[in-house]
A and B are shown apart, each in its own frame.
Chain A
Amino acid sequence: MIRDALLIAGKDLRLELRSRVALNQVLPFALLVLVLFAFALDPDKSVLTEATPGLYWIAVLFSALLALQRSFAIEATDGNRDALRLSGLDPAGIFLGKVLAVSVQLIVLEALLGVGVVVLYTSRIDGWVLLAVTSVIATASIAAAGTLYGVLAAGLRVRETLLPLLLLPVLAPVLIGSTRAFEAALNGSPSEGWPWVGLMSIFASLYVVAGIFGFGPLLEES
């Protein structure tokens, strides 16, 4: 399973390196969202600073939708999904590989968005450990749930519009948890943030387990 996961993750990341969809489309989109928030809230700088964690994670969520749709679009062309089913790869390995590849792309995106937040919102960064752990756990949560719902929507004609409708409500706990954890880190009270990290860890674990067992049957139906 681990070998298959690494094979899929390597393939998806190589595809991204060659196509540069995340770099050329997802990153500019995410930065644009941050800029638009800055324009909308700039007259009241205190509101912008206060809302920074929430705005940051909303930008990440929107970008994650694009990355997840791309992750399944590459399997939707020219019989690739059938080829995957014939390959003998463990479906759980395919799931974990896709989660890993999306997570790596999102972590890079989050780091670059973090720079954008500092520049645009003139935010001061504190609580590095809590910020880093929150980012990793929230990213794993988004990637795991998104990959599971992505394969569910993959076989449907309306997948582009269905995935956000399915996924965004499901990810509400991650949005709330990551925002609260970031607020705690930036306000200099990290102890208030760790319970939210614990909550997101449970969320991520549930979706990883659900994906390991549920991805295969969903791939058959897609």
Chain B
Amino acid sequence: MEQSSAALPSGPVVHLRGAVALLGRFPALAGVDLDIDARRIVLLRGANGAGKTTLLRTLAGLVPVAGGDAVVLGVDLVADPRPVRHRVGLLGHATGLYDELTVGDNVRFWGRAAGADPADVEQALIRLGLDGRLRSVAVGRLSAGQRRRTSLACLIARRPELWLLDEPHAGLDQEGRDLVDALVREAVSAGATVVLSSHELDRSLQLADSVITIAGGAVRPEPIIVPDPADGGAP
């Protein structure tokens, strides 16, 4: 599945310098410096409330940047974050689905909203195993894992250039987690860049090729330490 190639930036996909984002008056990001090159899988780690979700939402153009520089996919977020939004795919804690609509309706609606081909929508349903009976089931009747799969189908139907995944393995069974990892690798092979936050470090460290830690609204890079399965997967 190829990613949308519209205006791929020649520089880093993400470039933040002293980026500040406020939630009310609280500086949820307090001077973040970060560069992410294209086709990378970056793991974002940190304690609860450290600012992982805010960073992902900022990169998606949903949280205004109050200070510093912030350029994502060549779009200056300080000037106007809206042009970047349709080029990113954000999988957050909320699913963004309509409970009364069926799985097929939801994926079709969000796919069409992003200008996706009907073939891409169909492919997304098939890839997530939602093309059978589940297609015509109302989302409100799904399990948490099935809702997560539906959200993922909406995301891949959009073919985003930058994937922002907030706890993508949460609520999924083993097969679903493996599928997420496979989708991430496929997306990167096709040209996308992925930033993900996860508390499942053993799995995520196998997937990522770089790690950054966020604490107190600031980030610092870390050398990646791939866990040794012989040690029980502990990093």
- In-complex Cβ contact of A15 among B61, B62, B98, B112 (8 A): B98
Chain A window 80-102, contacts with chain B (Cβ cutoff 8 Å), 1 for yes, 0 for no: 10110111110000000000000
Please report whether the interface of chain A is mostly helix, strand, loop or mixed according to DSSP.
helix
> What is the distance, in angstroms, from A102's C-beta to the closest C-beta of chain B?
17
Chain A window 20-46, contacts with chain B (Cβ cutoff 8 Å), 1 for yes, 0 for no: 000000000000000000000000000
Q: Which A residue sits closest to B83, measured CB to CB?
A: A88
Chain B window 123-142, contacts with chain A (Cβ cutoff 8 Å), 1 for yes, 0 for no: 00000000000000010000
Q: Is the CB of B86 within 8 A of A86?
A: yes
Q: Is the CB of B114 within 8 A of A87?
A: yes
Q: Is the CB of A88 within 8 A of B114?
A: yes
Instruction: Tally A-B pairs: CB < 8 A.
Output: 61
Stretch touching chain B among A71-79, A109-117, A149-157, A174-182: A71-79
Q: Is the CB of A82 within 8 A of B94?
A: yes
Supposing A11-B98, A15-B100, A79-B94 touch, asked if A88 and B85 sit within 8 A by C-beta, the answer is yes
Q: Is the CB of B96 within 8 A of A83?
A: yes
Please indicate the chain B residues that have their CB under 8 angstroms from the CB of A85 in the complex.
62, 85
- CA–CA, A66 and B98, complex, Å: 19
Q: Is the CB of B94 within 8 A of A87?
A: no
Whether B92 sits at the interface, judged by CB under 8 Å, is: yes
Interface size range of chain A in the complex? 10 to 19
> What is the distance, in angstroms, from B103's C-beta to the closest C-beta of chain A?
13
Whether A124 sits at the interface, judged by CB under 8 Å, is: no
Q: Is the CB of A82 within 8 A of B99?
A: no
- CA–CA, A29 and B18, complex, Å: 55
Supposing A15-B101, A85-B62, A87-B114 touch, asked if A79 and B86 sit within 8 A by C-beta, the answer is no
Supposing A7-B112, A86-B88, A89-B113 touch, asked if A18 and B95 sit within 8 A by C-beta, the answer is no
Please indicate the chain B residues that have their CB under 8 angstroms from the CB of A82 in the complex.
57, 62, 90, 92, 94, 96
Please indicate the chain B residues that have their CB under 8 angstroms from the CB of A77 in the complex.
99
Please indicate the chain A residues that have their CB under 8 angstroms from the CB of B110 in the complex.
83, 87
Q: Is the CB of A78 within 8 A of B96?
A: yes
Residues of chain B whose beta carbon lies under 8 Å from any beta carbon of chain A: 57, 60-62, 85-86, 88, 90, 92-101, 105, 109-110, 112-115, 138
Residues of chain A whose beta carbon lies under 8 Å from any beta carbon of chain B: 4, 7, 11, 14-15, 18-19, 74, 77-80, 82-83, 85-89
With contacts A80-B98, A82-B94 known, what are 6 further pairs, Cβ within 8 A?
A78-B96, A79-B92, A79-B93, A80-B96, A82-B96, A88-B114
